[in-house]
A and B are shown apart, each in its own frame.
Chain A
Amino acid sequence: MFRVMKFAAAAVIATGAMAGTQAFAADDVITLGAAVSLSGKYSTNGEHTQRGYDLAVQVINERGGVQVGDTTYMLEIKYYDDESTATRGAELAERLIQQDGVNFLLGPYSSGLTKAIAPVTEQHGVPMVEGNGASRSLFTSGYRYLFAVLSTSEQYLASAIDLAAERAADLGKAPNELTVALAFENDPFSQDVRAGVVEDAQRHGMQIVIDDKLPKELNDMATTLTRVRALQPDLLVVSGHARGAATAIRQIQEMRVDVPMLAMTHCDSAKIIKEFGDAAEYTLCASQWAPTLTYQDDLFGSAADYAALFEKTYDYAPPYQAAESSAAVMTFVDAFQRAGTLDRAAVRDALAATDMQTFYGNIRFDETGKNIAKPMVLYQVQNGAYVVVAPSEWAAADPVLPRPGWADR
């Protein structure tokens, strides 16, 4: 037993030393640092994030690297595993900057980890571009070195509420007669999503009849659903990461709860179509990105091209977490090229002036560092596939509203 541990310790030290030398091996390499969740509760999405980063780096290097001023640089990423815990994330960010001498950071996975790391990068004046921290509170703290390529949390389900208002006639009501049930996990991200939904519902004059906070150890929401069955709201909105989506789909089917519209987040990270089949049908899902969108760039081509390349490389369709991570790398590269130098402050200013289109969407930051040029899209599960149904500009099909009742399926 002890011998095994000794061996493991030696191996860890050896790989650490090797990684250390690698970081300083060549002068014409830009090393980006990233603390990503490779173990712990976010490991699945952490892996999507890492693969998104890696794919972008691979393609950029294959194309000859990054031209900054007169020098051409190759890209490289130095990773650490933050074990899905915030304190570890902050520690590792400190280590990347102080010990490893990294000047530019890519974001971790999740709002919580980003929130832990942002004060560190801010203090050291190290620019961080992230694609996986959507919490509204990240952009109300006055951070100058934090840039997010994704839509922020309060926008996640806004399109679902707008869709309900638009299609109120299909449900036989006026928009202000609609009733809404909310079930959101009691964590900062989901509560941010809720705040956006509440604001939009109030704007349309809708009445909120259920407003539940689900516990973090979430595997049962039967009491909430019993009330949904009794009060019969027109729209049920659920958000609680992958476990929330999985639990909701499972129990709505099992309890045969009929609701005309069901909207949620994290459908694809919960793999609801694969896991639950027919039960997932007609669910409306918020997404940062879809392979069917018509965005383009010079590196990856269209959104569909990116999806094809990702699938060829990793053997599964890219979740949006991977796409937004690739976009974060592209944003950095664009800023390096425009800045013409690798000076942190100059790169920061170049980032702030970003205005580009990528396969993932348009990227333009407001003064708080969040991307204001890309809307969320809303999928509906139709015949076992995600189909974009809103906003209407990107819609590939009409939404099926109301959902057929369980008795008619």
Chain B
Amino acid sequence: MPRRGWRRMNNIELLFSSPAIAGGLLIDGILFGSIFALIAYGLALVWGVMNIINVTQGEFVILGGFAAVVMADNGFHPLLAVPVAALVLYVLGRLLYRTIIHRIVDRDLFTSLLATFGISIVLQQLMNIVFGGDPRNADAGLGVWFAFDYSIVLSKVKLLAFVLAIVVGAALVVFLKMSRLGQAIRATAQNARAARVVGIDTNRVYEATFALNAAICGAAGALAATAYTIHPYIGLPYTVRSFMIVIIAGLGNIGGVLAAGLGLGAAEYYAGFILGAEFQIAFVFGLLVVVLLARSWWLGRKRRYLK
């Protein structure tokens, strides 16, 4: 359709003619990406340490979100739910590990994919029964800052998510480097058998890792419920985006995860603005393919040197 093409050219023009729009979009995109970066930390951790691709990430997020909604309904400030959701999900993470996950740690990827997928379906239906299927939102009432006659509007909740993404990222780096448990986690990730040989209780390490991931997801979810809307079946986009961020950043690279998360958010927003919302996600997936191709080419090139 020529009219559509013409519209897209106009969108690009609009972007160049108004720095406020371009800047606002950049900021919105980065803030949008920060929640996904948070979730991706946890995924990278579980994947790297336990070799499990946890498809339940999204449902953990939504559960955290419902914690915020429930607290808001009962008169608490929804932001109080950030630590509460983290705690609740931490306990749930431990519980899930002891009942199910510990059985699949050493199995192949297919088993763990299937098992976590099963858990995600059960969680979805449980949330639907307990909280209902309606889209919910917990308004933190923090309001916005704005500039340039509302061309740039900065939501304080999203800004908080951004700050938390950076703080949690930094804390994770420090935790993994400095603390005994963190060192044990790293040792287990490098070589579980050797870690057991030197006396690390890898089972405990796995449990802590999985619960830590759930806690991070819960905190992210409480923020997602205040910044966006949630319902029991909206977990998948969170799982998929965090998966993509980890693919792009690589495992064991917290800084990379943060950069990939924020960058992807911004890229997605520019794509959505120029191409229209229907191509927003398609663009991200396209980008994923390009990154994977580029990476395989880059690695292949190195391999030739080694020969």
Contacts and interface: CB of A to CB of B under 8 A. Distances in A.
B203 to A, nearest CB: 21
Contacts, number: 115
Given A226-B24, A247-B228, A250-B228, A217 B277 contact: no
A271 interface: yes
Given A217-B234, A243-B234, A223 B136 contact: no
Contacts of B25: 223, 226
Q: Which of A220, A223, A270 has the most CB of B within 10 A?
A: A223
Nearest to B234: A219
Given A229-B151, A275-B137, A215 B278 contact: yes
Interface stretch (A37-45, A99-107, A322-330): A37-45
Nearest to A221: B277
B137 A227 contact: no
B151 to A, nearest CB: 7
B137 to A, nearest CB: 6
B278 A269 contact: no
B243 to A, nearest CB: 14
B153 interface: yes
Contacts of A349: none
Contact of A246 (B125, B129, B135): B135
A185 B151 CA distance: 26
Contacts of B234: 217, 219, 243
B134 A215 contact: no
Contacts of A210: 7
Interface string B193-230: 00000000000000000000000000000000000111
Given A254-B153, A276-B137, A227 B273 contact: yes
Interface of B: 4, 7, 11, 14, 18, 21, 24-25, 28, 32, 125, 128-129, 132-137, 139, 144, 146, 150-151, 153, 155, 228-234, 236-237, 269, 272-273, 276-278, 280-281
Interface of A: 39-44, 183, 186, 209-215, 217, 219-224, 226-227, 229-231, 242-243, 245-247, 250, 254-256, 258, 269-271, 275-277, 406-407
Given A42-B133, A219-B237, A221-B277, 18 more contacts: A44-B133, A183-B277, A210-B7, A213-B277, A217-B236, A219-B229, A219-B230, A223-B269, A223-B273, A226-B21, A227-B11, A250-B228, A250-B229, A255-B153, A255-B155, A256-B153, A269-B134, A275-B135
26 contacts: A41-B133, A41-B232, A44-B132, A186-B278, A209-B7, A211-B276, A212-B276, A215-B281, A217-B234, A217-B237, A219-B230, A220-B32, A223-B25, A223-B272, A224-B272, A224-B277, A226-B28, A230-B14, A242-B231, A246-B229, A250-B229, A256-B144, A256-B146, A270-B135, A271-B134, A275-B137
